[in-house]
């Protein structure tokens, strides 16, 4: 069954969609969309480092993503607004990574694959990395769910309950770096931020509890991967962007449903 490249692509897409979406709920709740993008852009530097040293890409990408997240955390509150700081660092990391890769011979094709993803070229070993990394991330989120949730909702209440919000943020940063590293082959660094944010945002109007939103986001992420792949196969379009477009359509539908329900609800 895994000899069929479309089956491998579908399994990879579902794995990334179901993994990144629940984590994306915390990105949405914390208003960290740009933070996810900055971490993803830093992955290009990791790719450049791996290509320069002829070393495995996955550890280098994780290290680069963690370094970016740590730098943002350390520099926060030093006279710059968070969105300004993230904008500077995200685009600097992306540009520096592309320049670094351009100086390495025969690396440009690899860079394009990492920028935009190449889900149709996913191998069995890639599936092992994606599902293994995804299971690790989901296990980490489940383990730290209560601490992450209370730290997100109210840091002061978290401290009163004996939970260190900074420690919870470190766990979230680690999970985000792992997701970026395992998803880079599927949708690329330019689109992984979209897969973190859009399914979570699409699930928000339908959920009544945080747990429902996380589960709904995972379902929407997996559905978007499968429907995007099907659209790419039928329309002969790029697979990664098609997956993101499918997620965006789901977001439009759920937002419209919420708006219609709000109109029908009688005002007292």
- pTM of the entire structure? 0.83
Task: Show the DSSP H helices in the chain as ranges.
Answer: 5-29, 33-53, 57-75, 82-102, 108-116, 124-143, 145-153, 155-160, 165-183, 192-203, 210-235, 239-264
Structure confidence by residue, pLDDT tens digits, 200-223: 999 998 888 999 999 999 999 999
Can you give the pLDDT at residue 80?
A: 65
Q: Which residue ranges form the domains of the chain, and what is each CATH number?
A: 5-264 (1.10.3470.10)
- Backbone φ and ψ for 72, nearest 5 degrees, come out as -65, -40
Can you give the pLDDT at residue 189?
A: 76
DSSP structure class, residue 207 = -
Can you give the pLDDT at residue 227?
A: 93
Provide the mean pLDDT of the chain. Answer: 82
Structure confidence by residue, pLDDT tens digits, 154-190: 888 888 888 888 888 888 888 888 888 788 777 777 7
Cα–Cα dist 2/223, whole Å: 20
């Amino acid at each position: 069954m895994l000899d069929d490249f479309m089956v491998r692509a579908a399994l990879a897409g579902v794995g990334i969609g179901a993994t990144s979406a629940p984590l994306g709920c915390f990105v949405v709740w914390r208003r960290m969309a740009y933070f996810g993008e900055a971490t993803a852009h830093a992955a290009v530097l990791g790719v450049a480092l791996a290509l320069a040293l002829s070393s495995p890409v996955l550890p280098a990408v994780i290290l680069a993503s963690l370094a970016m997240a740590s730098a943002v955390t350390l520099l926060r509150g030093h006279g710059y607004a968070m969105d300004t700081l993230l904008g500077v660092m995200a685009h600097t990391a992306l540009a520096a990574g592309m320049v670094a890769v351009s100086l390495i011979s025969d690396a440009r094709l690899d860079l394009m694959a990492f920028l935009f993803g190449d889900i149709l070229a996913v191998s069995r070993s890639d599936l092992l990395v994606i599902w293994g990394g995804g299971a690790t991330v989901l296990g980490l989120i489940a383990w730290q769910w209560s601490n992450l949730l209370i730290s997100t909702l109210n840091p002061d209440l978290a401290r009163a309950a004996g939970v260190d919000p900074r420690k919870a943020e470190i766990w979230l940063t680690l999970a985000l770096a792992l997701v970026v590293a395992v998803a880079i082959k599927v949708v690329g660094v330019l689109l992984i931020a979209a897969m973190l944010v859009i399914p979570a945002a699409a699930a928000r109007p339908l959920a009544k509890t945080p747990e429902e939103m996380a589960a709904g986001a995972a379902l929407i992420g997996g559905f978007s991967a499968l429907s995007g792949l099907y659209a790419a196969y039928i329309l002969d379009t790029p697979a990664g962007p098609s997956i993101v477009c499918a997620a965006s359509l789901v977001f439009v539908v759920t937002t419209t449903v919420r708006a219609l329900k709000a109109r029908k609800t009688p005002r007292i």
